[in-house]
Structure 1
Amino acid sequence: MARDYRLGVTRKAANVVVKALLARGLPVTGGTGFLLTTRGRRSGADRTTPVNVLEAGGDRWLVSPYGQVGWVHNLRADPTARLWRGRRRETWTVEEADAATAGPVLRAYVRKIPVTAPFFDAKLTASVDAFVAEADRHPVFRLARSRT
């Protein structure tokens, strides 16, 4: 059974460190790390969190390995993703993937970033179908169109 994500003290501290490194332009998590800024769905204020961008199938993807977290709800309300690391800044329109499209992306994501594997029921060696079955628990967004 997959582990539940909890944003406790340790994870908050790790996020502070990772955010600082990414803000300075240092390539965290093998160069896939970026800061994602979304508009808060209720407050309208900017919200920034570290994420990993996966390149697969000729597209770039945002994957939520920890489930229905805040940035997922924010992107559903306003599909504008501002990604940045150091001085590099990009603004994208995102499209949420259906389960059939998300399955192969989730599988590739877990293989690329195995630290997220405990949050999935499907194992690293599982078929794409096992990841398709988990797509409702792990939203996937395609970076559809650059606006910068």
Structure 2
Amino acid sequence: MAREYRLGVMRKAVNVLVTAGLKRGIPIAGSTGWLLTTRGRRSGADRTTPVNVVEAAGDRWLVSPYGRVGWVHNLRADATARLWRGDTRQTWEVEEADAATAGPVLRAYVRKLPVTAPFFDAKPGDPAEAFAAEADRHPVFRLARSRT
């Protein structure tokens, strides 16, 4: 059974450090880190969180390895993703992937970032169909159209 994500003290501290590095344009070694800013679905205020962008099937994707977290709900309400790292800024319209499309992307994500593997029932060596079966628990968004 996959672990359930909880934003505890340690994860908050890691996010603060990762965010500080990304603001300066320094991603963690081996990561594909960006800061994602979305519009809060209820407050309308900007919300920023560190994310990883994975390339698969010729596209770039945002994956939520920890489930239906705040930024997922925000993107579902307003499909505009603002990605930034240091001085680099990008604005994208996103499209949520269906399970069949998400399966190979989720597999690629877990292979690229194995630290997220405990949050999936499927294992890195499993076929894409195993990941597609849990796509409802790990939303995937394609960076569809650049607006920058």
TM range, normalised to the smaller chain?
over 0.9
The structural deviation recorded for 1:28 is 2.0
Q: What TM-score does the superposition give when structure 2 sets the normalisation length?
A: 0.98
The structural deviation recorded for 1:29 is 4.5
Alignment of 1:78-117 (within 5 A): 78-117=78-117
Match in the other structure for 1:124: 124
Q: Deviations over 1:2-43 (max 9, x none)?
A: 000000111001100000000000022525100000000000
The change in CA–CA distance for 1:73 and 1:80 in structure 2 (over 3 A counts) is same
Q: Does the Cα contact within 8 Å between 2:93 and 2:147 map onto a contact in 1?
A: yes
Alignment of 1:30-45 (within 5 A): 30-45=30-45
1:18 counterpart = 2:18? yes
Q: Deviations over 1:76-128 (max 9, x none)?
A: 00000000000000000000000000000000000000000000000111111
Q: Does the Cα contact within 8 Å between 2:63 and 2:140 map onto a contact in 1?
A: yes
SS in 1 for 2:138: coil
CA distance in 1 between counterparts of 2:65 and 2:29 reads 15
**Matched-pair identity in %:** 81
SS in 2 for 1:18: helix
SS in 1 for 2:137: coil
The change in CA–CA distance for 1:66 and 1:29 in structure 2 (over 3 A counts) is farther
The residue type equivalent to 1:28 in the other structure is I
Match in the other structure for 1:49: 49
RMSD, matched Cα: 0.7
CA distance in 1 between counterparts of 2:87 and 2:123 reads 37
The structural deviation recorded for 1:49 is 0.2
The residue type equivalent to 2:47 in the other structure is R
Structure 2 unmatched ranges of 5 or more: none
Match in the other structure for 1:134: 134
TM superposition outliers: structure 1 runs of 4+ over 4 Å = none
Structure 1 unmatched ranges of 5 or more: none
CA distance in 2 between counterparts of 1:50 and 1:60 reads 16
